């Protein structure tokens, strides 16, 4: 956790949520109304909605709320943590955790005799590194991690232990996606029940918080982990298989259990790393 981050004033999390949800839902709810044939919008409105500006809500909220409570020094510290790329051995933990878990769920499903989904992406290997860069900057991590881990998780720890803070941040993260379930999207988790996303963001949120806590509050580590999560789900489509999806939940629970057992719920990090 960053030593320069000040404890926020009262209601700062509520202010953050109002801005993050308000900014994103102001764009996503009209998109959902159009998708559900409840509103015939002008073409100009559709063009604006196509820019996916709603995804930037958590980043906007983190910067605005930080500036409101901590002024320029707080914003400078927040942005600085987005460039903390000296992760040491944690580079490998961050890079490999989600490919191993998601790939492992598919492998175990196959070993149990279940049919595997088609790995269409692997037919164009040149797209794999390009997708990593695209996902990092434009498909979630940059737009979201300054908010959910860098602001919400960071500041909730002034009131709760790290595990509780991570769970609350994960639930807020999941609920934020709600309007997107009423819009046709390619991502597999939007074609599953909403509770599945909520459970996923809670468990994955704990893992991302673990990355964050053990890299001295590196938002970059959280962004990189989020990138690997999205990228791995794209390359290894475990959510297209019911059995693999259930196994994946089990693996997430095992990893979260290991984290709590080995690192403790109070900080989610080793004492020596403090």
Maximum separation of any 2 CA atoms in the chain, in Å = 58
Asked whether residue 113 is domain-assigned, the answer is yes
Per-residue pLDDT averaged across 148-170, rounded?
A: 97
User: Closest by alpha carbon to 149, among 179, 119, 169?
Assistant: 169
Number of other CB atoms surrounding residue 222 within 10 Å: 30
Q: Is 257 within a domain?
A: yes
Q: What is the pLDDT of residues 129-155, one digit of tens each?
A: 999 999 999 999 999 999 999 999 999
pLDDT digits over 228-247, tens only? 999 999 999 999 999 999 99
Tell me the residue range of the domain where 168 lies. 85-273
For the chain, the domain total comes to: 1
Residue 16 lies in a domain: no
Least confident window among 34-38, 46-50, 104-108, 133-137:
46-50
pLDDT over threshold 50, residue 3: no
Tell me if 21 is assigned to some domain: no
Helix, strand, or coil here: 50? coil
Indicate whether 125 belongs to any domain: yes
Q: Are 170 and 202 in contact (CB under 8 A)?
A: yes
| Predicted confidence band of residue 2 (pLDDT cuts 50, 70, 90) | very low
What's the average model confidence in pLDDT over 186-199?
A: 90
pLDDT band at 10 (very low <50, low <70, confident <90, very high): confident
For residue 78, being part of any structural domain is answered with: no
Contacts of 217 (CB under 8 A, 6+ apart): 1, 2, 5, 81, 84, 150, 154
- pLDDT of 273 > 90? The answer is no
């Amino acid at each position: 956790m960053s030593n320069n981050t000040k404890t926020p004033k009262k209601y700062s999390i509520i202010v953050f949520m109002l801005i993050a949800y308000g900014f994103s839902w102001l764009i996503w709810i009209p998109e959902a109304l159009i998708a559900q044939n409840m509103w015939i919008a002008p073409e100009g409105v559709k063009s604006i909605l196509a820019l996916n500006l709603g995804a930037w809500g958590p980043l906007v909220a983190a910067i605005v709320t930080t500036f409101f409570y901590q002024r320029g020094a707080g914003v400078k510290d927040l942005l600085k943590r987005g460039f903390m790329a000296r992760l040491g051995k944690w580079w490998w933990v961050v890079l490999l955790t989600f490919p191993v878990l998601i790939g492992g769920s598919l492998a175990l499903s196959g070993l149990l005799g279940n049919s595997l989904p088609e790995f269409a992406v692997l037919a164009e290997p040149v797209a794999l590194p390009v997708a990593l860069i695209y996902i990092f900057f434009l498909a979630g991590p940059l737009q979201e991690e300054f908010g959910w881990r860098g602001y919400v998780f960071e500041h909730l720890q002034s009131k709760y232990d790290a595990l509780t803070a991570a769970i609350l941040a994960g639930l807020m993260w999941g609920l934020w996606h709600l309007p997107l379930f009423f819009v046709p999207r390619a991502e597999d988790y939007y074609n599953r029940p909403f509770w599945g996303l909520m459970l996923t963001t809670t468990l994955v949120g704990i893992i991302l918080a673990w990355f964050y806590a053990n890299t001295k509050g590196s938002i970059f580590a959280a962004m990189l982990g989020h990138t690997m999560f999205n990228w791995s789900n794209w390359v290894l489509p475990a959510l297209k298989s019911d059995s693999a999806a259930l196994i994946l939940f089990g693996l997430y629970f095992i990893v979260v259990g290991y984290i709590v057992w080995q690192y403790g719920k109070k900080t989610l990090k080793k004492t020596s790393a403090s």
